[in-house]
Amino acid sequence: MRNSTNTNQAPGEPGASHPVNGKAISDCLLDARIRGRRLPQFPGSLPEDLEQAYAIQMMSIGRWPEDVAGWKVARLPAGDRERFGTERLAGPVFGSTISTVASGAETVAHVFGDGFAAVEAEFVFELGRTVAPGTMDRTDDDLVRLVSRAFCGAEIASSPVPRILDLGAVAIIADFGLNAGVIVGPEIAGFRGLPVGSLVTRVSVDGQEVGSASPGPITGDPVQALRFLLDHCGRHGIELARGTLVSTGLLTGVHPVDVGATARVDFGALGWFDVRFESISRK
């Protein structure tokens, strides 16, 4: 629990008790992302709760110079799951940061080289129809029917704040959910009926394996990530247009990368692709 009497810690550190200025935080994060510059620490006091964090995120989305084309879903750090009583978080994905890559090919991702940068193997869904905001009871089968296509993919996680993971869910949510792009790789034909135990995922960075997993069915946990996103967007009045991409959560872990590195994201018989990392460079 945050010590509300501590006034000696700097803003942007866990335990700091300075007032939260959402607009100022949004201003600084937006400026850093647009200019591609590092922030030595979180720009202000950490939001007190998820509502404050999402309010900052929504403020920044409204001021970003392009539309949202997709969403990422991720699990909260373990301590935050208990603290906030929820399993997952959401963040926007903008169209210019989405890359499509064929199996066996390479694509480029841009990250904050002097901030935080990582790659995560994930399944990516494409919605086959528009989902209007509002609450609705949906079965798992209902959710699966919303998905027109599924892909092998990766999320590119990056932030101008180097230690943002240490600051927890509220900092991650406020900074666009830590998203810097989504890679859409080979399509997964017949994803609804793949045999249990048939999936394998490996990630290597510069030739060294950094994570592997045998994920459960695509219609399992990834569909629950979609359920979370639909509920989240319903509460916030967000419409999900047909064709929206949903990156459904890490499979093998969060794998830090440096500028100049190349990661291979390998889904076994489903295909593989490489991601080369370059520094975000903007005026």
* pLDDT in single tens digits along all 283 residues of the chain: 233 333 334 455 554 456 789 999 999 999 999 999 999 999 999 999 999 999 999 999 999 999 999 999 999 998 999 999 999 999 999 999 999 999 999 999 999 999 999 999 999 999 999 999 986 789 999 999 999 999 999 999 999 999 999 999 999 999 999 999 999 999 999 999 998 788 999 999 999 999 999 999 999 999 999 999 999 999 999 999 999 999 999 999 999 999 999 999 999 999 999 999 999 975 3
pLDDT of residue 263: 98
pLDDT of residue 202: 98
pLDDT of residue 196: 79
CATH top-level class for 68-279?
alpha beta
pLDDT of residue 281: 74
| Strands 98-100 and 208-213, sheet pairing | unpaired
pLDDT of residue 14: 52
pLDDT of residue 13: 54
CA distance 153 to 273: 9
**For the chain, what are the domain ranges?**
68-279
Residue 77: closest CA among 67, 93, 66, 89 = 89
pLDDT of residue 98: 98
Residue 119 Cα to chain centre, angstroms:
10
Residue type at 106?
A: E
User: What sign has the CA pseudo-torsion 74, 80, 81, 84?
Assistant: negative
